[in-house]
């Protein structure tokens, strides 16, 4: 080949890439520090583990059956590029010395060289097949979740032709070598496709073969470098950023939102609270933006997007990314390459499918507030914080933290939030519950239990209790949830559990306030509860909750405020009592039951099987699941993220209706849940479908209570 030309290609392409990568790196560092990213020994071990499993082994790519074809195609392409990296180095070396074989290691006479050649051709064929799947999805199927445009087809074309060019290079080179040595053309097991190409080219003259050899060589060797230069300006930047994005993923519990330290001081000093502008994102959150593959899995599973709301997790990420790119010259000087405009432009969206909701996302090349100049306010307030987007993202992008951080700025700095939330905030602040009912009414849920022989004791009067039943605001004030609490109390008493309740010593955990962005109110409630719990010695007891939101907040967020407790949800606790023989369901409950997974119990805390095991233990119960929409893929009821206390976007399908229909399609006669908010939303959904007479909505504890003989 030509050493001079090879050197020129290297200088031009690597120099250009170094310049582009430097700009992207410096733009990344515009972001704020991220205290959640720690690098101590324990965290490094965990980080390397998730790097290997998620980035290296591509665990999440084919895990969801809905995307298995594309997931396996991506695995094939990823594996191919990793194996072919050595081949690329070989070709670059042959740009200087045509006989270069990596110091004999890749020689055709060497066993390793033959094995590698076979593996290389095998994975190259896999790359072509995998890339063809994505061409099919874009051209024939036109998947709506994907961003369809010329960029993706150009990249896929480069990938496919690079593989074909390598086969062409191998075939032409083989024929020339055979002729120079006076050998007959033959099929070689270690390069099956390359030798087939060689056999097909056997009738060509030497000049034609030399031209084809050079074409195959330069196409593959140079387009690798050209492709590298396209990455920082396309969605394929994830090829470089996905591994570090996975590695630096915060290791906090999934149910823990970022803390805000010295909140009163920030208010007094007029420092930013939450995220106002794009530079207020942390560098890790900015890395998320770089890493989006635009696959659309997040929006495809988002309850807000699938019911027609303005929120699309995918387009939220793209809007923030494009705005960051648009500000490159502002942050780094006027020597950048303007980011290609497209998604979310104010004038028109330039995509065929996967369009952003109308009027939801905008573009600006000047520093502006993200809300409302880049992101419509309705985008923020449509989020149920269910984490379906994060569960499905194959490269570990976070969405909920960004949305809540923007809510924090809207709430605490601009005092801009849905008016519906005002009553809930006032209630939590004055009476310790979002219903704004008198605090003295806590404990009324237990009225009449003593007549059944069930003794409800207060922790202040029974400090030696082993289990503290955190009843939660819903069961204290909502008539329907009170029935669940009474069933839990009866089951605890029947099992001989030594338990007590907080009574008026408890107040709201603050979950709705924190998810809505009212961090100051949340911290006030959290500090008050932690002080009370620690004062009563609860740190040495088991805290039993009936509400997944209370469960998540006490377990995952109170440790930041000095409250570390052994917290368990009542479905998990009841499962343990059954397993130990403390509860023996013997009465038949003839019913076909479908179970709805609460987001804060399932996706946030991995409690999926315990509720189902309780239901399976009940004689007469037949458990059925909604196709696809179950366990980690279960659709949100629509109440999370403070949605319980506000109306959904006007004129759009209600999330609880969509979820109810999924559950009713199973043919179940009873819908089971483990969350008072879910129960409210699903009961409303069942009533809205005029199915109250033939479908009953019950908590898991209520069904179990019916099966216990007393």
Q: Which CATH class is domain 3-30+61-233?
A: mainly alpha
Residue 344 has pLDDT above 50, yes or no: no
- DSSP string covering 5-60: HHHHHHHHHHHHHHHHHHHHHHHHTTSBP-TT---SHHHHHHHHHHIIIIIIS-TT
In the predicted model, what is the mean pLDDT of residues 400-428?
97
Supply 296's token pair.
């659309």
Residue pLDDT, tens place only, 587-605: 999 999 999 999 999 999 9
Q: In the prediction, which pLDDT does 108 show?
A: 83
For 315, residues 6+ apart whose C-beta sits below 8 A from its C-beta are 299, 343, 344, 356, 357, 360, 361
Question: What is the CA angle 398-403-406, rounded to 5?
Answer: 130
Residue pair 633/301 in contact (Cβ under 8 Å)? The answer is: yes
The CB density around residue 630, as the number of other CB atoms within 10 Å, is 21
Q: What span, in angstroms and rounded, lies between the C-alpha atoms of 514 and 447?
A: 32
Of residues 575 and 101, more confidence is placed in 575
Query: Confidence band (pLDDT; 50, 70, 90) for 110?
Result: confident
Going from N- to C-terminal start, the domains of the chain cover: 3-30+61-233, 263-412, 421-579, 591-706
Residue pLDDT, tens place only, 667-708: 999 999 999 999 999 999 999 999 999 999 999 999 999 999
- DSSP string covering 300-322: HT-TTGGGT-S--HHHHHHHHHH
Do β-strands 591-595 and 566-569 pair in parallel, antiparallel, or remain unpaired? unpaired
Residue pair 600/548 in contact (Cβ under 8 Å)? The answer is: yes
Residue pLDDT, tens place only, 76-86: 999 999 999 99
Mean of the per-residue pLDDT values of the chain: 94
Q: Which CATH class is domain 591-706?
A: alpha beta
Closest CA to 383 of 362, 404, 366: 404
Residue 349 has pLDDT above 80, yes or no: no
Q: Which CATH class is domain 263-412?
A: mainly alpha
Residue pLDDT, tens place only, 209-240: 999 999 999 999 999 999 999 999 999 999 99
CATH code of the domain made up of 421-579: 3.40.50
Residue pLDDT, tens place only, 90-107: 999 999 998 898 888 888
The alpha carbon dihedral of 397, 399, 401, 406 has a sign of positive
Q: What span, in angstroms and rounded, lies between the C-alpha atoms of 505 and 483?
A: 21
Q: What span, in angstroms and rounded, lies between the C-alpha atoms of 310 and 387?
A: 17
Q: Which helix (H) or strand (E) holds 355?
A: none
Burial class (CB in 10 A: 0-12, 13-18, 19+), 321: buried
In the predicted model, what is the mean pLDDT of residues 569-584?
98
Supply 345's token pair.
């432009």
Q: In the prediction, which pLDDT does 335 show?
A: 56
Closest CA to 471 of 449, 498, 436, 444: 444
Region of 282 (left: φ > 0; alpha: ψ -120 to 50; beta: rest) is beta
pTM of this structure = 0.94
543: three-class secondary structure by DSSP: strand
Residue pLDDT, tens place only, 496-526: 999 999 999 999 999 999 999 999 999 999 9
For 226, residues 6+ apart whose C-beta sits below 8 A from its C-beta are 13, 158
Residue pLDDT, tens place only, 46-67: 999 999 999 999 999 999 999 9
Q: Please name every residue paired with 595 in a beta bridge, in sequence order, or none if there are none.
A: 672
């Amino acid at each position: 080949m030509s050493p001079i030309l090879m050197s020129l290609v290297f200088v031009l392409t690597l120099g250009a890439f170094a310049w582009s990568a430097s700009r992207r790196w410096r733009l990344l560092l515009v972001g704020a520090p991220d205290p959640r990213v720690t690098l101590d020994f324990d965290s490094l071990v965990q980080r390397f583990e998730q790097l290997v499993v998620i980035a290296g082994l591509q665990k999440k790519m084919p895990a969801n059956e809905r995307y298995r074809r594309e997931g396996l195609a991506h695995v094939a392409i990823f594996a191919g590029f990793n194996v072919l990296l050595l081949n690329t180095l070989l070709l670059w070396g042959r740009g200087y010395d045509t006989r270069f074989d990596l110091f004999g290691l890749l020689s055709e006479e060497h066993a390793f060289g033959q094995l590698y050649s076979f593996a290389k051709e095998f994975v190259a064929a896999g790359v072509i097949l995998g890339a063809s799947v994505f061409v099919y999805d874009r051209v024939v199927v036109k998947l709506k979740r994907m961003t369809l445009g010329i960029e993706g087809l150009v990249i896929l074309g480069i990938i496919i032709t690079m593989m074909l060019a390598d086969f062409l290079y191998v075939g032409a080179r083989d024929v020339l070598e055979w002729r120079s040595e006076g050998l007959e053309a033959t099929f070689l097991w270690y390069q099956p496709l390359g030798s087939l190409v060689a056999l097909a080219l056997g009738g060509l003259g030497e000049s034609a073969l030399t031209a084809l050899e050079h074409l195959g060589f330069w196409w593959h060797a140079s387009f690798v470098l050209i492709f590298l230069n396209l990455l920082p300006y396309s969605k394929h930047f994830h090829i470089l950023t996905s591994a570090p994005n996975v590695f630096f993923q915060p290791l906090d519990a999934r149910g823990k939102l970022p803390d805000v330290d010295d909140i009163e001081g920030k208010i007094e000093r007029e420092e930013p609270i939450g995220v106002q502008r794009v530079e207020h994102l942390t560098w890790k959150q900015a890395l998320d933006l770089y890493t989006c593959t635009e696959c659309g899995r997040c929006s495809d599973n988002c309850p807000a997007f699938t019911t027609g709301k303005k929120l699309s997790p995918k387009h939220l990420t793209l809007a923030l990314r494009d705005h960051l790119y648009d500000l490159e010259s502002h942050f780094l000087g006027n020597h950048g390459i303007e980011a290609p405009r497209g998604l979310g432009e104010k004038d028109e969206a330039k995509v065929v499918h996967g369009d952003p909701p109308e009027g939801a996302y905008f573009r600006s090349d000047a520093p502006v507030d993200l809300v409302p100049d880049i992101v419509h306010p309705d985008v923020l307030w449509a989020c149920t914080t269910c984490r379906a987007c994060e569960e499905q993202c194959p490269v570990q992008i976070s969405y909920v933290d960004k949305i809540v951080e923007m809510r924090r700025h809207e709430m605490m700095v601009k005092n801009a939030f849905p008016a519906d939330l005002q009553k809930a905030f006032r209630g939590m602040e004055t009476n310790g519950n979002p219903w704004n009912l008198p605090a003295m009414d806590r404990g009324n849920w237990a009225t009449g239990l003593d007549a059944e022989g069930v003794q409800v004791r207060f922790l202040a009067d029974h400090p030696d209790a082993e289990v503290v039943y955190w009843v939660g605001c819903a069961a204290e004030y909502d008539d329907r949830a009170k029935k669940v609490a009474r069933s839990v109390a009866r089951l605890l008493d029947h099992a001989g559990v030594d338990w007590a309740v907080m009574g008026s010593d408890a107040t709201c955990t603050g979950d709705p306030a924190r998810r809505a962005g009212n961090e100051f109110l949340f911290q006030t409630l959290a500090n008050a509860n932690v002080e009370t719990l620690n004062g009563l010695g609860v740190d040495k007891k088991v805290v039993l909750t009936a509400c997944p939101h209370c469960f998540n907040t006490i377990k995952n967020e109170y440790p930041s405020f000095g409250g570390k407790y052994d917290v368990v949800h009542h479905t998990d606790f009841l499962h343990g009592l059954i397993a130990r023989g403390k509860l023996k369901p013997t009465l038949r409950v003839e019913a076909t039951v479908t179970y709805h997974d609460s987001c804060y119990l399932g996706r946030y805390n991995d409690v999926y099987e315990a509720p189902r095991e309780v239901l399976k233990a009940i004689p007469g119960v037949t458990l059925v699941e909604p196709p696809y929409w179950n366990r980690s893929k279960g659709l949100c009821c629509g109440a999370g993220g403070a949605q319980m206390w506000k109306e959904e976007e006007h004129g759009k399908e209600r999330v609880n209706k969509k979820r109810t229909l999924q559950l009713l399609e199973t043919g179940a006669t009873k819908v089971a849940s483990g969350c008072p908010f879910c129960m409210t939303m699903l009961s409303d959904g069942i009533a809205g479908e005029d199915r109250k007479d033939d479908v009953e909505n019950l908590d898991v504890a209520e069904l179990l209570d019916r099966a216990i003989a007393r």
